[in-house]
């Protein structure tokens, strides 16, 4: 279980603050910053897909999906669905490895 918070920290989505923690600018800025990063990953994934770089596109969509999962913002559910479908679509377009 220790690896999961480490994974979230690596992708830039720290766990929620404790309930008794004072609100700070760090926590107030986390959601808008994460939304910008997610949007960048989605746009980069779309750009790579149009260029035929399916492996890079899948990676960008995967990063966006991880950050959406870490954000836990239910208002972005439609985007999460789009990102998952895009990642699976790109994966199916990617040529088989080693061939």
Q: Which helix (H) or strand (E) holds 69?
A: helix 54-71
Section 5-18 average pLDDT: 51
Which tens digit of pLDDT belongs to each residue from 52-93? 999 999 999 999 999 988 777 667 778 889 999 999 999 998
Residue 33 lies inside a defined structural domain of this protein: yes
Residue 11 lies inside a defined structural domain of this protein: no
pLDDT at residue 25 greater than cutoff 80: no
| CA 74 and chain centroid, separation | 14
Residue 18 lies inside a defined structural domain of this protein: no
Residue 89 lies inside a defined structural domain of this protein: yes
C-beta neighbour count of 37 within 10 angstroms: 17
Of the candidates 95, 96, 40, which has an alpha carbon nearest to the alpha carbon of residue 67?
40
Residue 59 lies inside a defined structural domain of this protein: yes
Termini Cα distance of the chain: 37
Residue 38 lies inside a defined structural domain of this protein: yes
Residue 95 lies inside a defined structural domain of this protein: yes
The pLDDT, as a whole number, for residue 4 is 46
Residue 36 lies inside a defined structural domain of this protein: yes
pLDDT over 70 percentage in the chain: 66
Q: For 17-40, give the DSSP string.
A: PPTTPPP-HHHHHHHHHHHHHHHH
Give the number of domains in the chain.
Answer: 1
pLDDT over 90 percentage in the chain: 42
Section 10-21 average pLDDT: 53
Residues 51-68 as b/e (b if ≥16 CB within 10 A, e otherwise) read eebbebbbbbbbbbbbbb
Domain of residue 65, residue span: 27-99
């Amino acid at each position: 279980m220790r690896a999961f918070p480490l994974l979230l920290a690596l992708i830039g989505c720290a766990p929620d603050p404790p309930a008794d923690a004072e609100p700070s600018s760090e926590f107030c800025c986390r959601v808008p910053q994460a939304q910008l990063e997610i949007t960048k990953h989605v746009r980069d994934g779309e750009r790579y897909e149009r260029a035929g770089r399916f492996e890079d596109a899948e990676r960008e969509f995967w990063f966006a999906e991880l950050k959406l999962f870490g954000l836990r913002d239910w208002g972005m559910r439609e985007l999460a669905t789009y990102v998952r479908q895009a990642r699976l679509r790109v994966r199916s377009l990617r040529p088989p490895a080693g061939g």
